[in-house]
């Protein structure tokens, strides 16, 4: 008896790849289209996976900034306690502590006109927990005169914000009998190289003020460098040195108390807290602006959201009425501003002091 033929269900394919044969039998155009669809699908999956990875990477710094800080923040001051940088640093650190909700503390690391402390921060993790409260000398003067720098100003740091600008004021002991810069210059001409002019280190703003005055007045003072303002001021009060140009905040109380006599401002204009003290230029000695400034820097590659949060906290601290008044009353002008503005300012200062250093042939012989 003849067996009936088996009928395959519609749309079925043989185990040997009937479906694939059918696809190829349809012609090369349909095959290419099918392969293209498969490629698009694979690419879509890859894009989704890659995109998710990028989103997670991009979200990491933002999440870090939202949580920041989760532990104390260290601000390195590269001068001893009691100096002007230390004064400003402790003032803003206290206020930033309340703003950020974590302790912000000062770590004094003096030496080499601020470069030792800067080197410490430059080598720290770029996470926002180690910051450098620099003066102009450390980052815009020292690089031009030191053969071996522990950091590169623009490669190793990320700007946070300008903190303050301050004028240098020339002060002497009342015992010296000098009332103005002309009296001091006359004394220096009577005793060439014998009048001791202290500074906070080679290439520091006080030293630059002395060099600019040397050139403007045609005299030579005996430079005596110290490791910071506090020990220099102590010796000035004790009579071991005779004159110094210092940031107004550190000497203002001594001026008020009559222990020191201010004889000139080494700046582009008179200072609000010492309105009766003329600038050196007013007294006949031009090109003697040695104004100082302090800025907050973070290690390079610190996430931008963390920089932004530190910038906001610093700006808030500087605009706080109590902090603002304390700074102004001691001769420091609160600044603030964006990281980008600080970057532009620092580059201009770097170029300016580079020209001065080259012109006067200053080198750091202590290295």
Q: Taking residues 295-323, report their average pLDDT.
A: 98
DSSP conformation class of 139: I
Res 28: pLDDT:
53
What are the structural domains of the chain?
Answer: 70-165+291-360 (3.40.190.150), 168-266 (3.40.190.10)
Q: State residue 200's pLDDT score.
A: 82
Question: Which pLDDT does position 39 carry in this prediction?
Answer: 60
Does residue 41 have a pLDDT over 80?
no
pLDDT of residue 270: 94
Task: Give 76's DSSP letter.
Answer: E
DSSP letter at 269 equals S
Q: How confident is the model at residue 147 (pLDDT cuts 50, 70, 90)?
A: confident
Give the lowest-confidence range in 22-31, 180-189, 251-260: 22-31
pLDDT for res 53: 57
- Provide the pLDDT for residue 7: 47
| Strand order across the beta sheet in which 332-336 lies | 104-108, 73-77, 130-135, 292-299, 157-166, 332-336
Among 22-26, 139-143, 241-245, which is the least confidently predicted range? 22-26
Q: Running DSSP on this structure, what letter comes out for residue 114? A: G
Q: In what helix (H) or strand (E) does residue 252 lie, and over which residues does it extend?
A: helix 248-256
Strand pairing report for 157-166 and 332-336: antiparallel
Cα 129 to Cα 125: distance, rounded to the nearest angstrom: 8
Strands 243-247 and 196-199: parallel
| Residue 9, number of CB atoms within 10 A of its CB | 5
Res. 361 pLDDT band, cuts 50 70 90: confident
Please answer whether residues 345 and 154 qualify as being in contact, where contact means their C-beta atoms are separated by less than 8 angstroms. Answer: no
What value does the mean pLDDT take over residues 62-73? Answer: 83
CA 68 to chain centroid, in Å, comes to 20
Using CA atoms, how far residue 314 sits from 132, 263, 322, 332, in Å, is 13, 34, 14, 15
Residue 208's nearest CA partner among 352, 314, 366, 340 is 352
State the distance between the two ends of the chain, measured CA to CA, in whole angstroms. Answer: 114
Q: Pick the residue with more confidence: 44 or 341?
A: 341
What 3-state DSSP class applies to 161?
strand
Of the candidates 164, 166, 138, 169, the one whose C-alpha atom is nearest the C-alpha of residue 246 is 169
Q: What was the pLDDT predicted at 310? A: 98
Q: Which stretch of 50-54, 137-141, 172-176 has the lowest confidence by average pLDDT?
A: 50-54
From CA 317, how far away is CA 75, in angstroms rounded?
A: 15
Rounded alpha-carbon distances, angstroms, from residue 328 to 40, 99, 160, 277, 280: 66, 21, 21, 17, 22
User: Taking 50 as the threshold, does the pLDDT of residue 91 lie above it?
Assistant: yes
- Tell me what the pLDDT averaged over the chain comes to: 86
pLDDT > 90: percent of the chain: 65
User: Angle CA(340)–CA(341)–CA(346) in degrees, nearest 5?
Assistant: 100
pLDDT tops 70 at residue 9: no
Residue 222: pLDDT over 90: yes
The alpha carbons of the chain give a radius of gyration, in whole angstroms, of 33
Quick one: tokens of 299?
Answer: 């290690």
**DSSP notation for 53-102:** HHHHHHHHHHHHHHH--SS-EEEEESS-TTSHHHHHHHHHHHHHHHHHSS
Alpha-carbon gap, residue 48 to 40, rounded angstroms: 12
Q: How is residue 233 written in tokens?
A: 């001021």
Token digits of residue 10: 């519609």
Secondary structure letter of residue 152 according to DSSP: -
Task: Answer for the pair 151, 247: CB distance below 8 angstroms, yes or no.
Answer: no
Per residue in 20-35, pLDDT (tens digit) is 444 444 555 554 555 5
* pLDDT at 102 (0 to 100): 97
């Amino acid at each position: 008896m003849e067996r009936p033929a088996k009928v395959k269900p519609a749309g079925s394919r043989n185990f040997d790849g009937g479906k694939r044969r059918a696809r190829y039998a349809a012609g090369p155009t349909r095959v290419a289209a099918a392969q293209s669809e498969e490629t698009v699908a694979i690419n879509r999956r890859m894009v989704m996976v890659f995109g998710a990875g990028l989103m997670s990477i991009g979200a990491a710094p933002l999440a870090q900034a939202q949580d920041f800080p989760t532990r104390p923040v260290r601000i390195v001051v590269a001068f001893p306690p009691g100096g002007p940088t230390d004064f400003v640093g402790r003032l803003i650190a206290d206020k930033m502590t309340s703003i950020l909700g974590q302790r912000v503390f000062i770590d004094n690391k003096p030496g080499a006109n601020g470069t030792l402390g800067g080197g410490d921060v430059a080598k720290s993790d770029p996470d926002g927990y180690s910051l450098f409260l620099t003066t102009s000398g450390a980052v815009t003067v020292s690089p031009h005169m030191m053969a071996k720098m522990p950091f590169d100003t623009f490669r190793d740091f990320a700007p946070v914000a300008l903190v303050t600008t301050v004028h240098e004021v020339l002060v002497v002991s009342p015992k010296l009998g000098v009332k103005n810069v002309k009296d001091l210059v006359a004394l220096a001409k009577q005793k060439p190289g014998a009048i001791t002019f202290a500074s906070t280190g080679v290439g520091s703003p006080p030293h630059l003020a002395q060099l600019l005055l040397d050139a403007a007045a045609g005299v030579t003072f005996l430079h005596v460098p110290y490791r910071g303002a506090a020990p220099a001021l102590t010796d000035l009060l004790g009579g071991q040195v005779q004159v110094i140009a210092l940031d107004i905040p550190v000497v203002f109380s001594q001026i008020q108390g009559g222990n020191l006599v201010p004889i000139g401002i080494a700046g582009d204009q008179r200072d609000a807290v010492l309105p009766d003290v003329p600038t050196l230029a007013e007294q006949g000695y031009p090109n003697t602006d040695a104004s100082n400034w302090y800025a907050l820097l973070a290690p390079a590659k610190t996430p931008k959201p963390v920089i932004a949060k530190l910038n906001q906290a610093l700006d808030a601290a500087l605009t706080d009425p109590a902090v603002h008044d304390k700074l102004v009353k001691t001769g420091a002008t609160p600044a603030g501003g964006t990281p980008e503005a600080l970057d532009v300012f620092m580059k201009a200062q770097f170029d300016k002091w580079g020209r001065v250093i080259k012109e006067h042939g200053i080198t750091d012989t202590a290295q």
